[in-house]
């Protein structure tokens, strides 16, 4: 079974509270989402493998550590996932970025795919899907499906969100047991419109100032 990690680092928790506030404006919302994403990138890369390399400092030859293993791709689910890309790139500047356009139909609540553009070698990469909200899990599951259809192994995918609902975590684990989920918070539940409670509202609208 994939693991579910809640990142209880005090900085992440503090910053999440700032963006939950309804009076937090677009500028601060955007900045703080990016800061949280950077801190989360630090945590989700904790198990990256290292190998020894020989280098020369100005004084001597020495054996030191360098990252080994798969290269990385960051895959934001549009729109709101875009807000987490810069934070991830700050930690992983050489990562490639793929985009998956997906929105929840407001009537059916089903995800609708409208754009997919990915690095050609996703099957060889460690994939980090980023999206601030995991509500019903429909968008996350459809995004993973889009990657698997193009050759990615579920075990090479990690899903990273800011706020998760228990319903979304269960749905995602049931659909893709090999995908690890990372969240800054596990909230209480979904409301009758499948918004997360207490949540932070509509992440895309808050990030881009739309309504």
Q: Is residue 202 within the footprint of ligand URA (CB under 6 A)?
A: yes
126's contact among ligand URA, ligand PRP, none, with CB below 5 to 8 A by partner kind, is none
CB of 203 to ligand PRP, least distance (A): 5
76 binds ligand PRP (CB under 6 A): no
Q: Please say if 104 is a catalytic residue.
A: yes
123 contacts: CB under 8 Å, gap ≥ 6: 150, 151, 152, 153, 156
CB nearer to ligand PRP: pick between 15 and 206: 206
Catalytic residue chosen out of the listed positions 105, 121, 191, 205: 205
Q: Annotated catalytic, 8?
A: no
Task: Answer for the pair 38, 88: CB distance below 8 angstroms, yes or no.
Answer: yes
Asked if residue 160 lies in contact with residue 132, where contact means CB atoms within 8 angstroms, the answer is no
Q: From the centroid of its chain, how far is CA 8?
A: 16
Whether cis (ω within 30° of 0) applies to the bond prior to 170 is no
Q: Of 129, 133, 144, 160, which lies in the binding site for ligand URA, with binding defined by CB under 6 A?
A: 133
199 binds ligand URA (CB under 6 A): yes
- Cα dist. 172→4, 15, 91, 150 in Å? 10, 26, 26, 19
180 is catalytic: no
- The mark string for 167-196 relative to ligand URA (x by CB under 6 A, - otherwise) is ----------------------------xx
202 given a catalytic annotation: yes
The contact set with ligand URA (CB under 6 A) reads 133, 135, 195-196, 199, 202-204
Catalytic residues: 104, 108, 202, 205
Q: Which residues are annotated as a binding site for 5-phospho-alpha-D-ribose 1-diphosphate?
A: 79, 104, 131-139, 202
């Amino acid at each position: 079974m994939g693991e579910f990690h809640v990142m209880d680092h005090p900085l992440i928790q503090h910053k999440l509270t700032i963006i939950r506030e309804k009076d937090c404006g677009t500028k601060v919302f955007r900045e703080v989402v990016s800061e949280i994403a950077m801190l989360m990138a630090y945590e989700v890369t904790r198990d990256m493998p290292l190998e020894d390399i020989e280098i020369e400092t100005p004084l001597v030859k020495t054996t030191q550590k360098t990252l080994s293993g798969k290269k990385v791709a960051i895959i934001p689910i549009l729109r709101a996932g875009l807000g987490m890309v810069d934070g991830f790139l700050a930690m992983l500047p050489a990562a490639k970025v793929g985009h998956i356009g997906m929105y929840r139909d407001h009537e059916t609540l089903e995800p609708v795919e409208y754009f997919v553009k990915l690095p050609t070698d996703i099957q060889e990469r460690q994939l980090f899907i980023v999206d601030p909200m995991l509500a019903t899990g429909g968008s996350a599951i459809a995004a993973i499906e889009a990657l698997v259809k193009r050759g990615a192994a579920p075990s090479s995918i990690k899903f990273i969100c800011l706020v998760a609902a228990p319903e979304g975590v269960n749905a995602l684990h049931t659909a893709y047991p090999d995908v690890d989920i990372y969240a800054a918070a596990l909230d209480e539940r979904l409301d009758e419109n499948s918004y997360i409670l207490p949540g932070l509202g509509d992440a895309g609208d808050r990030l881009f100032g739309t309504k």
